[in-house]
Amino acid sequence: MRKKVDASLLGKCLKEIWKCEPQSLLMASGLAFMEALIPLGASLISAVLVDGLSTGTDYNKMAVTAMIGVAILFAMNALRGRMYRCGLPHSEYCNDLVEWKFDEKNMEMDYMQLDSPLAARIRAQVQNDYDWGCGAYYMIPQFQRCCTGIIGIIASVVLLVPVFLQGSFWKHRSVFLFLFYIGIVTWISVIIEQHTYAAKEALKKGYDACSGRSNYLMRGGISYREGKDIRIYKAQPMIKSALREKERDVMVSAESRLEIRAGLWDGAASGILMGSTYLFVVLRGLNGALTAGSVVLFATAIYQFTENVKVFSKSRSEIFMNARRMKSSFTYLELPDLMKKNNRQIRKEDFTGEIEFQNISFQYSGTAYPALDNVSLKLRPGQKIAVVGMNGSGKTTLVKLLCRMYDPDEGRILFNGVDIREYDYKSYMKLFSVVFQDFKLLALPIGENVAAAREYDPDRIKECLEKAGIGERIKKMGKGISTSLYRDIEEDGVEVSGGEAQKIALARALYKDAPFVVLDEPTAALDPISEHEIYSGFERLVGEKAAIFISHRLSSCRFCDEILVFHEGRLVQRGTHQKLLEDQNGQYHKMWQAQARYYKDSGVAIG
Ligand code: ADP
């Protein structure tokens, strides 16, 4: 059963590689032919020449034979070199193409699925499998070695047949005893190789169970951006000790002991086989059972046969292991979308529609409490709504549901009176510009970051950056909006502060020009002056668009038409700032008092 599963996985991997980059497999197959046939071809030519010399064949005839043979070997060697060199970039490219499928999947799959514990678990497994070695980059050479083994075995047998049929050679009992002996030594070699391979895999599995921390750190858990914290908190010893875990040292020593034992046996077996083969055929040759050329041919063919059996056996174990490791990748790439997809389109004329939450409840999988509990609200065109509440009260979840990152467990969200599940997802996405609390910018030019595209309108980009309050700063940068962010790619990229990054993210939201703007803690990283600029220019910033404004700071929400107060996933109060303050027992009043006390104590003005 397991073999069947492995074979179907291997077939799937090879099919995927073929679809991505067929040249890589063609080159590998061609290379396998050359690798397997060149040594046998060389020995065949030697055999013909030796036989010719010993039987006194015409010199000219032999010279022509030798030249043809050498020319064929030369061409095969040249082809081998070409295929090897040419195959490498195809293999690398193929590996990238397969890996890009993950990026595509991450970008295209439902966010709900992307964020699920199941997807996280499979992602970790994929990473782990790749760390131990799998994917096209490994599989293509393994495929090539498997083919070399098979072709080598077949070609050796083909060469051995005429030798066997020569005279009375095959009739001698010692030939069968010799072949039996060769079979036993080869079989022991294969068993030892397989045992070593299985033992190494078991070691890796054992190590996996205790390597979570070092794996996390090795896979980019720390980058240059963590440099400050690591220095300040002297985290170097903690990180170094995790990277250099004792278990890893133990595993490496055990693995190297296994390899030494297997290598010793392998070397000894090859020596024994080669020595005894030569001894045997020379003795048989001296007895007159073989021609001199056949002695050469027999010895090489037997040696190549046993070597290729070993090559095949080893690469077979490796390629099946690789295929098994690719299982997690296929599972991830085939993860189904969880959300219902429909195709109702939203046209520009519909942009003035209203959004309504009807009795929405939602709980993240693996959590004990609902993040939103029976929430109902409406968002009308042009309306400015503030959403306030303590940490974890469900504010960001509200935005995620609004943008259909998740579907509610209960209730419906309507746009223009139609359940949002009826709309085409990409069309529905046109409605929103969101600056998430944990927004991300890319290490690409600022213009591309703002437009989220390679092509953009530079004047509009500058206008949006200006509105977001970062126009002047960008003008001063060497290449203006063509300046790259961060130094991951460009040496002259700029490192922007948290507040500056937030303003660029704000400009990106404005550039999209969607009818609903959502700002999740939009001023958390801004200095007081920038914050004041944003609030006082809020109308100018979002204009006639509807806006949802999420903030901890109650004083900054007073300009909104309505304030929604969330507590433990429930919408507990709603109204204007003044109206909410009047309810002295209300959550808003409590939060206001707490913040007022803090600002009074610290001497900061809240108005
Ligand atoms: P707020 O934005 O008000 O701080 P959130 O909407 O982010 O609150 O979170 C509401 C609750 O849902 C919190 O208890 C939080 O821990 C939980 N939560 C948020 N995101 C996830 C997630 N992806 N998976 C599981 N639980 C989550």
DSSP line for 286-353: HTTSS-HHHHHHHHHHHHHHHHHHHHHHHHHHHHHHHHHHTHHHHHHHTPPP-S----B---GGGGG-
Q: What confidence tier does 168 reach under pLDDT thresholds 50, 70, 90?
A: low
E strands, 380-448, in order: 384-389, 410-415, 418-419, 432-435
pLDDT tens per residue, range 47-100:
888 888 888 778 888 888 889 999 999 999 999 998 888 888 888 898 888 889
The whole-number pLDDT of residue 120 equals 92
What pLDDT does 219 receive? 66
Q: Is the pLDDT of residue 595 over 70?
A: yes
**Residue 606: pLDDT above 60?**
no
Cα(387) to centroid of ligand 1, in Å? 15
Give the Cβ contact number of residue 401 at 10 Å.
22
As a whole number, the mean pLDDT across the chain is 86
pLDDT, one tens digit per residue, over 241-252 is 776 667 777 888
Mean pLDDT of 287-303: 83
Which one has a higher pLDDT value, 144 or 293? 144
Our answer on whether the CB atom of 115 is closer than 6 Å to any ligand 1 atom is yes
524 has a pLDDT exceeding 90? no
Pocket lining: 365 vs ligand 1, CB cutoff 6 Å: no
Give the tens place of pLDDT for each residue, 493-508: 888 888 889 889 999 9
Handedness of CA 324, 326, 332, 335 (dihedral sign): negative
With a cut of 80, say whether residue 599 has pLDDT above it: no
Q: Quick one: pLDDT at residue 169? A: 63
Mean pLDDT, rounded, for 521-526:
70
Write the pLDDT tens digit of every residue in 100-131: 999 999 999 999 999 999 999 999 899 888 88
Question: With the CA atoms of 568, 570, 575 and 576 taken in that order, what torsion angle do they form, in degrees rounded to the nearest 10?
Answer: 30
Using the predicted structure, report yes or no on whether residue 143 has a pLDDT greater than 80: yes
Distance CA 271, CA 518 (A): 74
Mutate to test the pocket of ligand 1, among 360, 390, 397, 568 (most ligand atoms within 8 A of CB): 397
pLDDT reported for residue 254:
87
Which element (helix H / strand E) includes 10? helix 2-20
Nearest CA, atom 7, ligand 1: 396
Q: What does DSSP assign to residue 524?
A: T
Which residue's alpha carbon is nearest to atom 14 within ligand 1? 392
Residue 459 pLDDT: 95
Best substitution site from 115, 364, 519 to test ligand 1's pocket, by max atoms within 8 Å of Cβ?
Answer: 364
CB of 397 sitting under 6 A from ligand 1: yes
Residue 255 above 80 pLDDT? yes
CA of 127 to the centre of ligand 1 (A): 26
- Let me know: does 126 contact 134? Beta carbons within 8 Å: no
Phi, psi of 338 (to 5 degrees): -95, -20
Using alpha carbons only, give the angle 514, 519, 520 rounded to the nearest 5 degrees. Answer: 140
- Tell me the C-alpha distance between 152 and 302, whole Å: 11
Nearest ligand 1 atom to alpha carbon 115 = 23
User: Rounded to an integer, what distance in angstroms lies between the CA atom of residue 423 and that of residue 342?
Assistant: 5
Please report the DSSP string for 494-511 in residue order. Answer: B---HHHHHHHHHHHHHH
pLDDT tens digits, 381-393:
889 899 999 889 9
Higher pLDDT, 489 or 157: 157
**Amino acid 210: pLDDT:** 67
| 394 pocket-lining for ligand 1 (C-beta < 6 Å) | yes
Cα(398) to centroid of ligand 1, in Å? 10
What residue has token string 């070997």?
Answer: 73
| Alpha-carbon distances, residue 354 vs 137, 402, 417 (angstroms) | 52, 12, 8
The residue-averaged pLDDT of 404-417 equals 94
Coil, strand, or helix at residue 434?
Answer: strand
| Long-range contact pairs involving 437-443 (C-beta distance under 8 Å, separation at least 24) | 437/396, 437/520, 437/521, 437/524, 437/550, 439/501, 439/502, 439/505, 441/485, 441/486, 441/501, 441/504, 441/505, 442/485, 443/484, 443/485, 443/486, 443/487, 443/488, 443/489, 443/490, 443/493
pLDDT at 271: 86
- Is the model more confident about 26 or about 178? 26
pLDDT attached to residue 170 = 64
Q: How far apart are CA 471 and CA 503, in angstroms?
A: 10
pLDDT per position as a tens digit, 32-50:
999 999 999 998 888 888 8
**Residue 189 CA, ligand 1 centroid: distance in Å:** 57
Phi, then psi, of 572 in degrees rounded to 5: -95, -20
Q: Name residue 37's amino acid.
A: L
List, in order, residues 6 or more apart from 567 with CB less than 8 Å away. 389, 390, 393, 587
